[in-house]
Structures are given as C-alpha cells and as structure tokens.
Structure 1
Amino acid sequence: MKRFNNAKMENVSINMNQSKTPVYFIDEKDIKDLVKQYNPTRKIGDVKIPELEKKINENPFVDSANVYMNLNGNLNVDIKQRVPVFRLSKNGKDFYVDEKGVEFPISRNFSYPCMLVMGDVDASEYQELGQLVEKIDKDDFSKKYFIGIKKEKDSYNLLTSDGNYKVEIGDLENIDFKVKGFKTFVEKYLVYQNPNKYKKISVKYNNQIVTTLNPYFKENDSILRNAPKIEIKSEVESHKTEEKKSEPKAEPKKEIKKAEPKKSEFKKESSKPKKVEKKSEPKKSLDKKKETSSKSSSDKKKKQK
C-alpha cells in the first residue's frame, strides 16, 4: 500500500465473461466511465473498490461483477452479463427474462435473438417457462416448429412456423410428454396433410389429441357444412323467443272484424228462402187443387160417355 497509494492507475483490465451465445448489452467503455467517476484523481490509493463493485452490480444488464487490484497496481473488473432466456411482451411492455427469472430491460444497442412470449404471465412461472424454452432450443424438432409462446386464459399455446395453427399445451406440467405427442401426430398424420387445414391442435389432454379445423381453408367447407349444428340458447334468448311467439295472439281480433260482413251476407241469404217458402206454399196448394179438380171433371166426363 505504501508503494502504490500515490502511484497513478495506468491500466484497467475489464474481462467480459461470455456464455456460449455472446451478449453485448454493455461494453468496456461503459465500465471505464464508471471507474473514472469513482477515482477522479486516478491514484491507486483513491480507488473505492467496494462502491465501484456495488455500482456495477446495480446495472440491470450485469448478472455479477468482481472488482479487485493485483500486485502490479492494475485494476481488474470481471463482469458476467445477463443472458436472456425469452423476451416477454406483457401489458404493452417488452423486457427480457434470464434463467433465474429476473426481468431486465431491452437495450437500444443490442438485440438478443430468443423466444418471444406473449400474455399475462405471472412472475412465479418465469423459471418453469424458461425451462420450457431451453427444452425447445435443445430439441431439433421443437426448434424447427415452435417460434413463440402465448398465454390465453391460463392456458399456454405454442406458435408454429408451419401453417397458421397453434399447439395448445395447457399448463407447464409434463412438457416432454406433450411435445412427444405432438411430434408423433406430425410424423404419422400431419406430414400428409396441408398445414393450413387446422386452426388449433390441443395436446393438453391425457392420451388424446384434439384438432380444430380452420374455417378459412377451402377444403374444410364440405366438412363444416355437413357438421351438425348445435344451438345453445341462454335464458334471456329463450325468454325473448317466447315473447315473440306470444305476440301473434292479438291477430284474431282483426280476423273477427273482417269476418263481420260475411255474417251479414249469410243472414241475407238465409232470409231469402223464408220469403220464397211463404210465397211458394200457396202455389203448391193451388196446383194441387187444380189437379184434383181436373181429375174429377175428367172422371165425370168418362162416366157420362
């Protein structure tokens, strides 16, 4: 300390510990600017190592930092940056999540290629969701098909690059079994079909796969037309239909008004025969009298002859 206290700090060694996929959220220039802030005199004895290390660790892109001085008077800064596991779009905001489930912002200088996750994902699910993304990245089949994850009403869906369908997996349990079921479905059936035929393929149920047809695919028109239609009416709708059925009860009043002239016509028609009967009765009696009288006169003439 007596030798280096008043000596100038000439060298600052910054080591960025990179993972398999390198990240560049921060660079050496950013760290050197911090070193100057915490050592304005540039003397070795004036360097505030604990405060400098704490300040570097407060950076959201830094996972861990270690600051130390060697025997030659050189300052060393070892930094490990955060590596995103997936990028989350939630409530109109985008940010990264690392393997520890820690959120950190998106950088203007660097964009890391990773899985996009959308929906209202709870922070308690970050680590399980990160494990799912890692399994997809390690599996060649899954990496080829799945390009994103979306959460809808407490159910997770895997977005695919082949066609417009999504793969419903439900919760984050038994992921290996669910992905294996989808792989079997693809290899034994979907390979021979048009990928645009389906809207959704669900593997969340045990030992079964449920598919939903795409209504905008022309080849599905005949299938959807012949499918049985199931109508489900709510209580409000059924009440309205009952009211509509009861409305035509007022129509008989109009029919009665229109039918009144017919009754009067019927009365007039029925009255005519009565008058005819009165006039016809005496005619019949007279005719009978004439007939009897003629018969009697003819008999008399016969007798006289």
Structure 2
Amino acid sequence: MKNKYRILKIAITVIILGFLLSFSLKKFSGQKITDKQISVKMNEKTPVYFVDEKDIREIVKKENPSGEVGDLDIPALEKKINNLPAVDSANVYLNLNGKLNLDIKQRVPVFRLNKEGRDFYVDEKGIEFPISKTYSHPCMLVTGNVNKDEYQKLAELVEKIDKDDFSRKYFIGISKDRNGNYNLLTSESNYKVEIGDLDNIDFKVKGFKTFVEKYLVYQDPEKYSRVSVKYQNQIVTTLNPYFKENDSVLQAGNKELAKAPVAAVKKTGAQPKLTENKISSTQAKPKESIKKKTVTKPQKTKKTEQKPTAAKPKKKATVKIE
C-alpha cells in the first residue's frame, strides 16, 4: 500500500509540474521581444563597421514580424546573419527572461584587391567579400592578377609589413606584373621594390632595409625606377631615365652600345645573306660584260670573284668579341 501511495504522489507531482511548465512556456512564448531586450555585440579585435547594429535589428524584425518569443526561429535567424558576406560568425541565443542575444564577429580585411576591374576585400583566412558603400576600411592595396591560392601568403606578407616599423613606413602597396613578379610600392619615391615570388619575404625585406640604411640614404631616391631583391645575395637597381642626373650616364651607355658590339652582332648575324647577295651580283656582272665585250670568260670571273666573297666571312668572324 505504501508503494502505491508513493507512486501516486510522484505521478501527481509530475502532472502538476508539467501543467505549471506548459503554462509558463505558453506565457513565455507569448512574451514580446522589445528593442531593449535585443542585445547585439561585435566581438572582433579590430573595429570594423561593415555591419551596423541597426541592420541586425532590422533582420530580427523581418525574421520575426510578430515579435513574440514563440514565433522566433533561432537557427534560421542565425543562418541568415551568417550568410552576410562581411560576417565571419554569429551566435544567437535566448535567455529565460526573454532577452535575445546576438554575438557577431565581422570579417577584418587584410588587404583590398583590384583584380580584372573588380574591387573587393580579403581577410586573414583568404576569403573574399565585397566592399561596402557606407564604410571603407584602411588596409593595403594590392593590384594585379593574383590567384586565390596566393591569398594566404599575401595576407602573411601584409601582416609582416604592418608589424614592422621600417616596412610600414616604406611600403604602401603591392602589385603583381604580367611576368608574375610581385613589387612593393614605396611612399618616398616612384621606384618599386621587386621581390619576385612570396617566398623568403623576411630575407628580402631585410636585404632592402640594409640597402636603404647603408646606401640609399646618401642618394636621391628619384635616381632609381626599380630596386630588385628577388635574387639571392644581391641587389639589382635600375636607373630612372627621367631623372636629370642620370641623363649623361644613360647617354654614355647608349653610345657605348651603339659602337662595335652592336655592329659586330649585325654583321655576323647577316653573314649568310650578305655572301649570297654578293655572289648573285658577281654572277650578273659577266652577263653585262658579254654584251659590251666580245671576249670574256664567265667561268674564270666566277672563280676570281668568289674568292674574295669566301674570304670576307673569315674576317668578319674575327671581329666578333662577345
């Protein structure tokens, strides 16, 4: 009998608790979610403003027009916010007091890429997302046909530049040329720093830093159009042809190039054609001499005229020094 009474008491208690729970849930589901009960938090370390709190509140209202707790589909709302291009992650949950919490982390651009006429941002994970009409984030500008598999290394390069005082002072942009070489754009002058590929970046930047501190500080930066550090253990510079002090140097170099080496290359490269032309011209002369003079021997003239043409290529071959 005692066991029956215990079972009966437990059953009655469960029924009462279930009734109270259903009543509280019904009352809770009919509760309104006011603007004060919506909490939106942005959890990114670097402040960005691609997504506004006002925009999030409007999404909540569209997903739950009635504003009641029972009509709110939390998984669908969370998915809707996560699908925003500038949102990295979103966590939506509801407290027992009816407060709706939305913890959102936005994407932070590492660089802005101009590729094939399109402008978009790339975050540290290498994910593309469009630029905003209302907000522009200050970051490194990259131009050129950059492949998606290079985004990660490019993001690492930009982060290294931002963390280093010297690099942050000198480099304001990155470009990729048609040959696939990367160039760092400088702030002090119009010259580029050619780094080639995205490997051994620390070593290349260190080499350029040494070049600046030990040599470039004593020169006019306008003197150069390019400084290449892509080669191992050497730095190659290209003079700026529009810099006045370089005019005499470039003109002298052009004069030297216009002398013997260029002429020798042209002569040696055109030897077969020249010898053939000379032979054909010598063969034409005996025909004219036959008309004017009655006594001529074409066979002998061919032999005598072919000798100097055969000797000339030997002399020309000795002229080539390169």
Quick check: 1:168 aligned with 2:168? no
Equivalent position to 1:141, from 166, 183, 186: 166
Aligned residue pairs: how many? 260
User: For 1:18 and 1:183, how far apart are their aligned partners in 2?
Assistant: 33
- Which residue matches 1:40? 65
Question: What are structure 2's unaligned runs of at least 5 residues?
Answer: 1-24, 294-322
Between 98-107 and 248-257, report the one with greater CA deviation: 248-257
Equivalent position to 1:61, from 71, 82, 86: 86
- Which residue matches 2:30? 6
User: For 1:157 and 1:48, how far apart are their aligned partners in 2?
Assistant: 50
Give the letter aligned to residue 30 of structure 2: N
Q: Which has the larger radius of gyration?
A: 1
TM-score (norm 1): 0.77
User: For 1:137 and 1:89, how far apart are their aligned partners in 2?
Assistant: 20
Deviation at residue 16 of structure 1 after TM alignment: 1.6
- Which residue matches 2:180? 154
Alignment RMSD (CA, Å): 2.8
Secondary structure (helix, strand or coil) at the match of 1:176 reads: helix
- Which residue matches 2:142? 117
TM-score (norm 2): 0.73
User: For 2:161 and 2:84, how far apart are their aligned partners in 1?
Assistant: 30
Question: What are structure 1's unaligned runs of at least 5 residues?
Answer: 264-305
Give the letter aligned to residue 48 of structure 1: D
- Which residue matches 2:3? none
Secondary structure (helix, strand or coil) at the match of 2:28 reads: coil
Q: Structure 1 residues 163 and 233 mapped into 2: Cα distance closer, same or farther (>3 Å)?
A: farther
Q: Structure 1 residues 234 and 222 mapped into 2: Cα distance closer, same or farther (>3 Å)?
A: closer
Deviation at residue 18 of structure 1 after TM alignment: 3.4
Secondary structure (helix, strand or coil) at the match of 1:3 reads: helix
- Which residue matches 1:72? 97
Secondary structure (helix, strand or coil) at the match of 1:67 reads: strand
User: For 2:286 and 2:175, how far apart are their aligned partners in 1?
Assistant: 63
User: Share of identical aligned residues, percent?
Assistant: 62
Q: Structure 1 residues 157 and 75 mapped into 2: Cα distance closer, same or farther (>3 Å)?
A: same
Give the letter aligned to residue 9 of structure 1: I
Query: What whole-Å deviation, never above 9, does each CA across 1:164-191 have from its counterpart, x for those lacking one?
Result: 1111111111111111110110011000
User: For 2:116 and 2:281, how far apart are their aligned partners in 1?
Assistant: 57
Q: Structure 1 residues 245 and 117 mapped into 2: Cα distance closer, same or farther (>3 Å)?
A: farther
Q: Structure 1 residues 177 and 232 mapped into 2: Cα distance closer, same or farther (>3 Å)?
A: farther
Give the letter aligned to residue 116 of structure 1: L
Query: What whole-Å deviation, never above 9, does each CA across 1:102-143 have from its counterpart, x for those lacking one?
Result: 000011010011001111111111111101001101111111
Quick check: 1:212 aligned with 2:238? yes
Secondary structure (helix, strand or coil) at the match of 2:207 reads: helix
User: For 2:77 and 2:263, how far apart are their aligned partners in 1?
Assistant: 67
Q: Where does 1:271-282 land on structure 2 (aligned, <5 Å)?
A: none
Deviation at residue 26 of structure 1 after TM alignment: 1.3
- Which residue matches 1:274? none
User: For 1:40 and 1:169, how far apart are their aligned partners in 2?
Assistant: 56
Quick check: 1:186 aligned with 2:209? no
Deviation at residue 254 of structure 1 after TM alignment: 9.1
Deviation at residue 37 of structure 1 after TM alignment: 1.5
Give the letter aligned to residue 251 of structure 2: R
User: For 2:49 and 2:86, how far apart are their aligned partners in 1?
Assistant: 9
